[in-house]
Amino acid sequence: MEKLHLGCGEDIKKDYVNLDIKKSLGVDVVHDLTKFPYPFKDNTFDLIEMHHVLEHLENPLKVIEELWRISKPGAKVIISVPHWSHFTAYGDLTHVNYFSSALFIYYEQNNPDYYSKRVRFKVLRKKFTATRTNSLWANPILNPILNLSQVFTELVLCKFLPVSQIIFVLEVKK
């Protein structure tokens, strides 16, 4: 199984190809994710993880197309991004994009609005979390509430109880 960790920073994953913009211990491939195409052949990876990277990139459409290109059919892609309602989304001056749970509706099979019928994903799971860390009290108590109705959370609840991040688990459709 070929696995890729994009924008790994210092979070080096064993048995993954770890890619980052700068060379450091454990980084296998140095590449700027704003430069296309990525240095991989089509249909290479079974699993791609990208955690808190997409919000830093100017062209998320092109990034997502590249993830699709380098993924095998049926591959899993796991992406976590800060939710727009959390103050930390705006507290980092390198963030250029803000996301909601609707991010990947754009790429679903039945969406007639997407300009390209080629790049497709199936959303297997999307999860809101109250904190990015494994909090002993906040996540076990608040995450079920945040995920009870994600639409209600985004329209109403997040004004009082901000969502820290969204984790998407996608399946590549080719």
Reported as a pLDDT band with limits 50, 70 and 90, residue 64 is very high
Class of domain 3-173 as given by CATH: alpha beta
Reported as a pLDDT band with limits 50, 70 and 90, residue 116 is low
pLDDT for residue 107 is more than 90 = no
Reported as a pLDDT band with limits 50, 70 and 90, residue 131 is confident
Structure-token match 């997502």, residue found: 64
Domains of the chain by residue range: 3-173
Give per-residue pLDDT as tens, 31-56. Answer: 999 999 999 999 999 999 999 999 99
According to the model, what pLDDT value does residue 105 have?
A: 84
